[in-house]
């Protein structure tokens, strides 16, 4: 890539200047001499040097937005799965080669120091990574956008695999400090909990209600600059840290109660201590609700403060601010914004409600019933008494308005209510987010359709204009340019440098190259390079040798029953048995690669990890397999590991039970890098099959409608299916008998029993279709010209899956803000 800044006519060259800046940072900010600097010291010095460049553009961006009085976008998310920032920042600033050369002159290797940066893992998986991709795209498109979240001291746990079992260890990304963030102790807001509501008749039309919390703590801002492509604009990710009002109760301390003196501190600060370690299952914990309210309240106070400073009139809020709720985690914003407008700014209820709905919008990420957030009314009353009143009032006005429209259907009124009455009284956060938003979106075409038919069926009937689709995307800067510089180089050679500025449009021009043998050869050579890099990582971490000529068949994502790692594992076992039984068949060598974390409390998912490791150990040690099949489970899946694995994949496994994956985003990352997808018609795989062409993928299995029909008919007992498939029966039997767990032969009995008797995720039901799709993969691999043509076409046609395209749609349809592409 030749995106480097060119040198000025006089003065030091950019490389020399950057080198001097690194040395100055090392000496004055890190306090080290080049002779005794560790890798981490160098990392910090380079990060600080790069940060200087950011700050100039950052101030300029802010000044421009202020001057032009632009509408601002606020993205509220409990998760930001950021990963490392050094290369991201250097690359977007056009300083990557400058920094590499400057470091080389100092005898330091950029590749080494980029590895010492810890992953900022402030998220569980796809939802958090989406927020990070969106931040980068919003900066690239020049939107005046702010991200708001929590500065967790400990991000997602570190996964250690011990004897095949997952163990969770505390993650400590802040141990060596964080050179990217700016602490803003002066930006601090009070956050209340508990207490009561005081009514006061001040002679106005309505009595004045004031919440008097009995517990107050502070939210302190930490800002991280987010730079767009070519440094165009720099936005802010503002993360909140919880602090007690006072660090120490001196009186108690002096009285000898040393622990009691800091009890409040511990209680307050626990709010930003740790990321909730659950993924798409309801947390159901008070601390979680406290986290949600804490960051929502701080963010709303902050943005209202900014709005008043810039515009002086609260009533222009909907014209000057768009607030996006990433899933229901920030849904309490509906009640908090109402409280601010009505109680603090003294706006009349109806007008405040109109302003709230016009300002907020909400993205739904899951239809899984167990993942739909709801909070016990009793907990809400205790923790947020004023908000509970407001929620009751919103509900009452809403039901009244429906009755006024002559809607009296009891079931309908019950289903659109904010209060769930059936299983103890609970507040439905999804309904609250829906009612309080002018726009609700799903994250792929299929998911949005299902949303209209299931969770929000009745609300959709009442408000047919509100739901729209915004299919997810990924940022190509990270998921193509940074992870695959060789492929990016070839693309630039083929299509020109300006491909990098609009890949979502320009990548299509690559299509004719799919028919050029020379280009396909280059493409395959880059894959080999990435596969060798992954193989050496596996060798280093697991001591397992991988044959890079084999198909790298990859499934990396959170471990969840609906994502069906079990289907892949059963295929692995069936393939193993086939190789043993038919040694003379011309088997295509495969490497099965798994990675992913299980929620700490999700026992079945943890058992699946153990099974993957048991199967891997058995197969890898069996000489009769002759290296035709290898299985690896790479521990501690995170963004940095994804960056190594994705460009090395030949085959991308996207095999969720149809109807259950909202979108998926790793499917897009793999396709962009030219892996072929084996997948179900689920989530964004549907759009992929339309845009890339089903003939360049391996689509199999039941459709969402078929799954639904089968569930409705109660056909979940698969005994007959198993009896009818020798291969499936053989694989299940081996797992059940303990072939892979001789130390504990009963370990998987219950698991297999459930697959056969109560196959909710359609693993058995889809097995044969999956097996045959895998044989189509083998056949395609044996025709390299065809395989690599498909691979090139996957890259060429993946442009639409850029998060720039997604953000462009949010900007036009939901936020009503211009982008720099307009």
| Residues that bind ligand PLP in the complex, under the rule CB under 6 A | 125-126, 129, 557-558, 638-639, 642, 664-666, 669
Query: Catalytic: which of 243, 558, 590, 747?
Result: 558
Q: Shortest Cβ distance from residue 342 to ligand PLP (Å)?
A: 39
CB of 525 to ligand PLP, least distance (A): 25
SS3 of residue 611 by DSSP: helix
Residue-wise DSSP of 348-396: -HHHHHHHHHHHEEEE-----GGGS-EEEHHHHHHH-HHHHHHHHHHHH
Residues 713, 721: Cα–Cα separation, whole Å: 16
Closer Cβ to ligand PLP, 119 or 420, answer by number = 119
Q: Least Å distance between CB 231 and ligand PLP?
A: 24
For 422, the token pair is: 């059936």
Is residue 665 among the annotated active site residues? yes
Please tell me which residue in 84, 151, 243, 365 is annotated as part of the active site: 365
Task: Mark 634-672 as b/e (b = at least 16 C-beta within 10 Å).
Answer: bbbbbbbbbbbbbbbbbbbbbbbbbbbbbbbbbbbbbbb
Residue 563 catalytic? yes
Q: Checking phi first, is residue 31 left (phi over 0); if not, alpha (psi -120 to 50) or beta?
A: left
Sort residue 478 into left (φ over 0), alpha (ψ -120 to 50) or beta. Answer: alpha
**Residue 264: which residues within 8 A CB-CB, separation 6 or more?**
244, 245, 246, 249
Q: Which is nearer to ligand PLP, 363 or 395 (CB)?
A: 363
Told to judge if 359 belongs to the known catalytic residues of this protein, a careful annotator would answer no
Work out how close the CB of 301 gets to ligand PLP at its nearest, in angstroms, rounded to a whole number: 32
Q: Are strands 120-122 and 80-83 parallel, antiparallel or unpaired?
A: antiparallel
Query: Which residue, 452, 456, 283, 296, is CA-closest to 360?
Result: 296
- Residue 531 CA to residue 403 CA, distance in Å, equals 63
Q: Is there a catalytic annotation at residue 365?
A: yes
Nearer to ligand PLP, 71 or 557 (CB): 557
Tokens found for residue 766: 């889809």
Nearer to ligand PLP, 795 or 803 (CB): 803
Query: Which CB atom, from 126 or from 142, has the smaller least distance to ligand PLP?
Result: 126
Nearer to ligand PLP, 128 or 147 (CB): 128
Q: Is 553 helix (H, G, I), strand (E, B) or coil?
A: strand
Nearer to ligand PLP, 385 or 473 (CB): 473
Residue 253 has what DSSP assignment? H
Name the residue with tokens 């440098």: 497
- Cα–Cα distance, 191 to 200 (Å, whole number): 22
Work out how close the CB of 121 gets to ligand PLP at its nearest, in angstroms, rounded to a whole number: 8
Residues 6 or more apart whose Cβ sits within 8 Å of residue 396: none
CB of 175 to ligand PLP, least distance (A): 21
Enumerate residues 6+ apart whose C-beta is below 8 A from 208: 199, 200, 201, 202, 343, 346
Does 606 qualify as catalytic in the annotation? no
* Smaller CB separation from ligand PLP, 131 or 380: 131
Options 288, 452, 557, 789, the catalytic residue: 557
Choose among 683, 804, 818: nearest CA to 133: 804
Selected catalytic residue, list 386, 478, 563, 747: 563
Q: Pick the catalytic residue: 665, 677, 795, 806?
A: 665
- Whether 27 is catalytic is no
- Residues annotated as catalytic are 365, 557-558, 563, 665, 669
């Amino acid at each position: 890539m030749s995106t480097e800044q060119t040198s000025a006519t006089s003065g030091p060259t950019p490389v020399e200047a950057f080198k001097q800046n690194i040395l100055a940072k090392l000496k004055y900010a890190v306090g080290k001499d080049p002779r005794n600097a560790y890798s981490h010291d160098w990392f910090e010095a380079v990060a600080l040097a790069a940060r200087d460049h950011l700050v100039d553009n950052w101030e300029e961006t802010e000044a421009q937005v202020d001057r032009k009085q632009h509408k601002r976008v606020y993205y509220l998310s409990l998760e930001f799965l950021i990963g490392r920032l050094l290369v991201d920042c250097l690359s977007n600033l056009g300083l990557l080669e400058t920094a590499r050369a400057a470091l080389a002159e100092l005898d330091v290797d950029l590749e080494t120091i980029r590895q010492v940066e810890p992953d900022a893992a402030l998220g569980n998986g796809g939802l958090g990574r989406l927020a990070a991709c969106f931040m980068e795209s919003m900066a690239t498109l020049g939107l005046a956008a702010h991200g708001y979240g929590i500065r967790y001291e400990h991000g997602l746990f570190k996964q250690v695999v011990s004897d095949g079992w997952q163990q969770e260890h505390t993650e400590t990304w802040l141990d060596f400090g964080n050179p990217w963030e700016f602490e803003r102790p002066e930006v601090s807001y009070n956050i209340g909990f508990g207490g009561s509501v005081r009514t006061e008749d001040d002679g106005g039309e309505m009595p004045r209600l004031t919440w008097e919390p009995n517990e107050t703590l502070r939210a302190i801002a930490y800002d991280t600059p987010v730079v767009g492509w070519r440094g165009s604009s720099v936005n802010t990710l503002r993360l909140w840290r919880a602090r007690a009002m006072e660090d120490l109760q001196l009186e108690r301390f002096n009285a000898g109660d040393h622990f009691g003196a800091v009890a409040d501190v511990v209680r307050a600060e626990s709010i930003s201590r740790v990321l909730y370690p659950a993924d798409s299952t309801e947390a159901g914990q008070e601390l979680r609700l406290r986290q949600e309210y804490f960051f929502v309240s701080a963010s709303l106070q902050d943005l209202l403060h900014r709005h008043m400073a810039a515009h002086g009139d609260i009533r222009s809020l909907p014209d000057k601010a768009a607030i996006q709720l990433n899933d229901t985690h920030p849904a309490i914003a509906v009640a908090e914004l109402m409280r601010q407008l009505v109680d603090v700014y003294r706006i009349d209820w109806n007008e405040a409600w109109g302003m709230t709905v016009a300002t907020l919008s909400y993205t739904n990420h899951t239809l899984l019933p167990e993942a739909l957030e709801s909070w016990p009314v009793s907990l809400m009353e205790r923790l947020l008494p004023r908000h509970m009143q407001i929620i009751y009032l919103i509900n009452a006005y809403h039901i009244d308005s429906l009755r006024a429209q002559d809607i009296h259907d009891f079931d309908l009124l019950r289903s659109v209510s904010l209060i769930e009455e059936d299983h103890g009284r609970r507040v439905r956060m999804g309904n609250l987010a829906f009612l309080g938003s002018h726009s609700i979106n799903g994250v792929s075409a299929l998911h949005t359709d299902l949303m209209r038919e299931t969770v929000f069926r009745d609300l959709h009937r009442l408000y047919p204009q509100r739901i729209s689709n915004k299919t997810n995307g990924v940022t190509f800067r990270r998921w193509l340019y940074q992870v695959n510089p060789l492929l990016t180089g070839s693309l630039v050679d083929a299509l020109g440098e300006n491909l990098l500025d609009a890949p979502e449009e320009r990548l299509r021009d690559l299509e004719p190259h799919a028919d050029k043998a020379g280009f396909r050869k280059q493409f395959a050579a880059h894959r080999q390079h990435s596969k060798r890099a992954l193989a050496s990582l596996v060798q280093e971490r697991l001591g397992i040798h991988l044959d890079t000529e084999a198909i790298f068949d990859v499934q990396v994502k959170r471990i969840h029953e609906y994502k069906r790692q079990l289907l892949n594992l059963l295929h692995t076992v069936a393939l193993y048995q086939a190789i043993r039984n038919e040694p003379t068949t011309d088997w295509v060598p495969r490497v099965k690669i798994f990675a992913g974390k299980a929620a700490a409390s999700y026992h079945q998912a943890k058992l699946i990890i153990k099974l993957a490791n048991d199967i891997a150990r058995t197969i890898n040690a069996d000489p009769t397999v002759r290296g035709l099949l290898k299985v690896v489970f790479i521990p501690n899946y995170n963004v940095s590991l994804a960056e190594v694995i994705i460009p090395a994949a030949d085959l991308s496994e996207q095999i969720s039970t149809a109807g259950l994956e909202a979108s998926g985003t790793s499917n897009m990352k793999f396709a962009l890098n030219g892996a072929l997808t084996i997948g179900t018609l689920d989530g964004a795989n549907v759009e992929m099959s339309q845009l890339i062409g089903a003939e360049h993928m391996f689509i199999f299995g039941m459709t969402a409608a078929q799954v639904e029909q089968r569930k409705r008919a109660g056909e979940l007992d698969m005994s007959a299916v198993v009896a009818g498939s020798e291969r499936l029966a053989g694989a299940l039997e081996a797992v059940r008998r303990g072939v892979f767990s001789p130390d504990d032969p009963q370990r998987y009995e219950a698991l297999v029993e459930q697959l056969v008797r109560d196959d909710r995720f359609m693993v058995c039901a889809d097995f044969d279709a999956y097996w045959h799709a895998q044989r189509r993969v083998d056949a395609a691999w044996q025709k390299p010209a065809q395989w690599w043509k498909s691979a090139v076409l996957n890259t060429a046609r993946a442009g639409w899956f850029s998060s720039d395209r997604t953000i462009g749609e949010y900007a036009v349809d939901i936020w009503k803000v211009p982008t720099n592409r307009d």
